[in-house]
Structure 1
Amino acid sequence: MNVSSSTLSLTVADVDASRAFLCTHLGYEVATADDGFVSLTRGDAAVDVVLLRRGTDVLPAEQRDQRAAGLILALTVTVTDIAAEEARLRAAGAPITMPLREEPWGERLFQMTDPNGVVVQLVSWPDATGAPRAAGPGVDQGAAAIVITPAPDHVTVSPNATTAGLAAPSRGSTELSTWTVMMDAGATGPEHFISREQVWTVTTGALEVTCGGRTEKVTAGQTLILPAGLLRRIHAPERAEAHVSMRSDGVSSVPGTEGTRELPWAR
């Protein structure tokens, strides 16, 4: 037997409500539709979904009054996407019925429930194979250990800092991202939040870091740990350089704006 595709058929009271939910929030598209019936698909590996209205005579008589219950439509997404995806869905008004959490075995997941009670779960897993991911320029993957050589396309220049990406998922890592930051004297970054803990080691000069309403001065040779989810701002009273590390799925957000953004040097 060779399975060429997979489809999940759900019997629901309101076909249009589930169709709108799956199309609006999860990117499904209508393949075919008729009265009391719709077939949905995506362009990737997600399972196709068929929605049938309760009572339709397409179903055998003993199945017509049943409804989708006690099941979870689980979709696996890439490890760097899931935190930003939950934030996107919250901002779009999707009903998050189980917030993002991490299990002891490494699985990260959250759940939504559609208007008909269908539970949709988004899941990400750490790379269990140990194989390095595809990497861009400057990465030597010829051995078990990956050697990264800084390259011009790893550098991001902003009005307040120059950031050079080192380890990241696009450059072979599976769990951590690391980068260096250079700030000129007097430069101050914007207030922002980061969804993951960061570790900053100042290698040159000094930084003044305000986090959680308290300001710390960190000088060359010292290390600062910034907890996840606290508002922070970084100021360089003199020219400074630092090395930063973070879990690779961390995202940032700015007070007063909607949604989150990935850190381009950490992707």
Structure 2
Amino acid sequence: MTAIALTIAGSDSGGGAGIQADLKTFSALGVYGASVITALTAQNTRTVARVQPAGPAMIAAQIATVFDDLDIRAVKLGMLGDGPAIRAVAEGLAGRGLPVVLDPVMVAKSGDTLLADDAIDGLRALLLPRATLLTPNLPEAARLTGAPPARSRDQMRDQALALMQMGARAVLLKGGHGHGPQCHDLLMTPDGPRWLSAPRHATRNTHGTGCTLSAAVAAELAKGRPLQEAVTAAHRYLQGAIAAADSLTVGQGHGPVHHFHAVWPHA
């Protein structure tokens, strides 16, 4: 049986994040990828020049049509953009009983806003309760909880617990915005906390890291792995993609990670 995962997210015309990163990640991990596009972006490694949302009717039609034919095993949610898109996605996923990895994309690596302020309440109310795993970075967790960005492990643990109390069944709080030679991510589940640490790589080519990590978890869930195993495998894959990022020469700003680091020939 072919493992199939679905990404519901925005398109990145520069190819480093969004739908493009998700489909590359699925492919690199041996999973067939389907997609629902929530927005078009005119984007490169330096800026997001324009965002054009897809209408909620079009989002709903894509979801319904994909599920009508494909045996989807897991869903990754990325950039949703606005309230109508969030409602369309929530309605489209209702009753399907699939693992959902929710990456609450709010700001691009360039600093451009990707989620309207008035859509955050909809994200909390409609999608957090559907999330098998929520994967915020430190600024996103702060916006969702209304607290300052976490600066310690205790603060990360408190915010992860708060997000679970808001409905997420598990939280992977990413520490990439922290400081120090080690990057510490926190996986919080009903069984308690688990820390995943890795060396912090000296590279600016980190465009799409959040998209890639959440897509990798979804891919592993689509294969049937339990959540903790899926997160461990996804974390390992992302670290390899970051470590190999400088072997690519893409753009003049924040370049992408190397999604195919394990299969492309090395220079």
User: Which TM-score band applies after superposition, normalised by the shorter structure?
Assistant: under 0.3
Is the radius of gyration larger for structure 1 or structure 2? 1
Q: As a proportion of its length, which structure holds more helix?
A: 2
Structure-2-length-normalised TM-score: 0.24
Greater RCO (CA < 8 Å, at least 6 residues apart): 2
Q: As a proportion of its length, which structure holds more strand?
A: 1
Structure-1-length-normalised TM-score: 0.24
